[in-house]
A = this chain, B = another copy of it.
């Protein structure tokens, strides 16, 4: 279940799961993978008791969860029906789903290989911002990454932050490198949902979410239909037009698809209808490019923006809109990237500055369009200052690359990105990172550059540490139980282009996957056996 974690009232499950009527089975069967979103029940109902919503500062906008249980309740005072749901974040293994790429990115901070063996202190952070330190070492035969020290403290303290099975690892530049979904024991949480308090659909199947978010192109002006249940439980269709696309709460929950569409309704009677809806609630009237369901998965797949693994949600740079713009299929290169890590490394400008820049750039573009003298964009090299470039001067990618190479002292290197490591990319107004060169030049110049106001062309050479850490929980830390090292997969240091190809490759081998298994705690009995054995040996 993917949760757009707006304002869940999270309560830790204290005991056994209740059984009861499952009113939400129609939308997603118990045990099925679902997507859920929430409103602030408290604010809507003005009920004191509902407003005790904890604030997890680093909670990402999406968590992939499984629905375990739904029970229905009625408010004693108002008789309003509400649902209680038990959710459990999915492990990476469980997230293997035809709709998602299987291989989630695996990232480590860079190791100093001059040491033998290479060791580092790995600092991870949980949803509450607590720091957890682990010793990360690269040793063994064959060589492997191990997290040794740190588990016992983490495990013994973990019960205090029950519900936390996610660790985030950041590098020194505050980039999110890794999110380790650990085993789901003790991580269930319960949600209370009052359907009257939230105008939008609350729980929907994951399939519906994925189809809407990744396989539907929406844009301002798009006409759509939307179903509403009437008071008499019958269904009616209302027509409307998309008037805007933006995060409902960009500051707190950037990248949440939850009610990201501003809409206008055709009928005046629909005046009370909510002014914002979610992608999956509407039926677009133009059947614009959607993936045919028979279409093979693989290269044509865009990088899934909504994945929780790249949205820590606790830094300043927001990905304003997560909507993927799909291109024509068949192109083997992945053209659209929305990779927070990349993004952050490329833009170390603080938000205020960024906003100012966007504004000045907007007026600048406005001006240039008025006098038709040129089409200026700013270009940046990742380690130097930006420059202004008139796009009308160029008639091909080659010319552009050549000029940029001169400007930044990278003569020739842009022509061979795979070897040089320098890759020309641009960031559109939706903060998607796109490779320069895949679209025909004219289309790129006119469409891509003109379309967006905040187009920026960037030169980028980034090193990325990849591969997903396979973190299982350690044993439960009971006395006498053994704490063994935790093994993790290898760190790959590679330039952006390789990252892209790597992602590409990952998408292709979608069906195959590694096994994510949690370490089994050693039983008390076994431990005792071990002890008496060594005792016997000593006596000999």
Contacts and interface: CB of A to CB of B under 8 A. Distances in A.
A61 to B, nearest CB: 15
A53 B49 CA distance: 10
Contact of A51 (B42, B153, B160): B42
A25 interface: no
Contacts of A55: 11, 52, 54
Contacts of A160: 128, 130, 157, 160-161
A466 to B, nearest CB: 31
- Residue among A49, A51, A54, A153 having the largest count of chain B Cβ atoms under 10 Å: A51
A197 B157 CA distance: 37
A54 B48 CA distance: 12
A11 B156 CA distance: 24
Contacts of A188: none
A333 interface: no
Interface string A142-160: 0000000000010011011
A452 interface: no
- Residue among A42, A130, A159 having the largest count of chain B Cβ atoms under 10 Å: A42
Nearest to A126: B160
A252 interface: yes
A213 to B, nearest CB: 23
Contact of A52 (B7, B11, B157): B7
Interface in A149-196: 153, 156-157, 159-161
Nearest to A50: B51
Interface in A128-144: 128, 130
A97 B156 CA distance: 38
B51 A54 contact: no
Given A53-B52, A160-B130, A160-B157, A43 B46 contact: yes
A519 interface: no
Given A42-B43, A48-B249, A53-B53, A130 B159 contact: yes
Contacts of A52: 7, 53-55
A153 B2 CA distance: 34
A396 interface: no
Contact of A43 (B51, B54, B159, B161): B51
Contacts of A484: none
A40 interface: yes
Contact of A157 (B7, B54, B157, B249): B157
Contacts of A49: 252
Interface in A249-295: 249, 252
A48 B157 CA distance: 31
Interface string A40-81: 101100101101111100000000000000000000000000
Contacts of A40: 48, 51
A48 B7 contact: yes
A509 B131 CA distance: 46
A161 B40 CA distance: 25
A160 B46 CA distance: 31
Contacts of A51: 7, 40, 42-43, 51, 53
B153 A156 contact: yes
A42 B40 CA distance: 11
The 6 lowest CB-CB distance pairs between A and B, nearest first, are: A52-B55, A157-B157, A51-B51, A160-B160, A54-B54, A52-B53
5 contacts: A7-B48, A42-B42, A52-B54, A54-B54, A160-B161
Given A54-B55, A156-B156, 12 more contacts: A7-B52, A11-B55, A40-B51, A42-B42, A42-B43, A43-B48, A52-B54, A53-B53, A53-B54, A54-B54, A156-B157, A157-B157
